[in-house]
Amino acid sequence: MGFVILIHADKCSGCQMCEVGCSLKHMKECNPERSRIRMIKTEKNGQYDFIPSTCMQCETAMCELVCPVKAISRNSETGARIIDETKCIGCSSCSYACPFGACFVDRKISKAMVCTQCDGDPTCVKVCPSGALEYISSDQVNVALKRAASQRIIDATAVAGLTNNPASC
């Protein structure tokens, strides 16, 4: 069973502690540009929204499929993607293939980077003060997504004035 970092975007305050913690742990410097989790900031009518973005640990990972030197594989214990830096040639194929923009080439070392979930103990999750990040089994994510989808249907039904009462039809 694999694990993933579940993102609760509605809880994110945009503090960037996840980026700072990640870059400190992996790159030994406080530099969000070298973090394996990235903060996406959007603005609409003066209102800012923040969404952390990291590797989604795809079942069929395009980054892995397009790597010309087969430097990307899956950690058998955690299920996280890992990059063998001795094989990586820094070509950026993985970056272009990732639909989430989670894989990137660190220009200082000319190697691809992706979230490894800190070998099963993600720093970003530990330092997130708002609870926007959660490390859970992929099975739990499926249940959470189904519950959220069900709640959206219930909410939309209530807004539309519909009920589950067959007598009201």
Task: Chunk the chain into consecutive blocks of 10 residues (it has 169) and report each block's average pLDDT, rounded to whole numbers.
Answer: 85 95 96 93 88 90 96 90 96 94 93 94 97 88 69 76 54
Q: What is the pLDDT of residue 164?
A: 55
pLDDT of 155 reads: 77
Return the pLDDT at 169.
Answer: 46
Q: What is the pLDDT of residue 58?
A: 87
Q: What is the pLDDT of residue 23?
A: 96
Looking at residue 102, its pLDDT comes to: 92
Domains of the chain with CATH codes: 7-134 (3.30.70.20)
Detail the DSSP E strand segments found in the chain: 3-7, 38-44, 47-53, 72-74, 81-83, 104-106, 111-113, 133-137
Give this prediction's pTM: 0.79
pLDDT at 140: 76
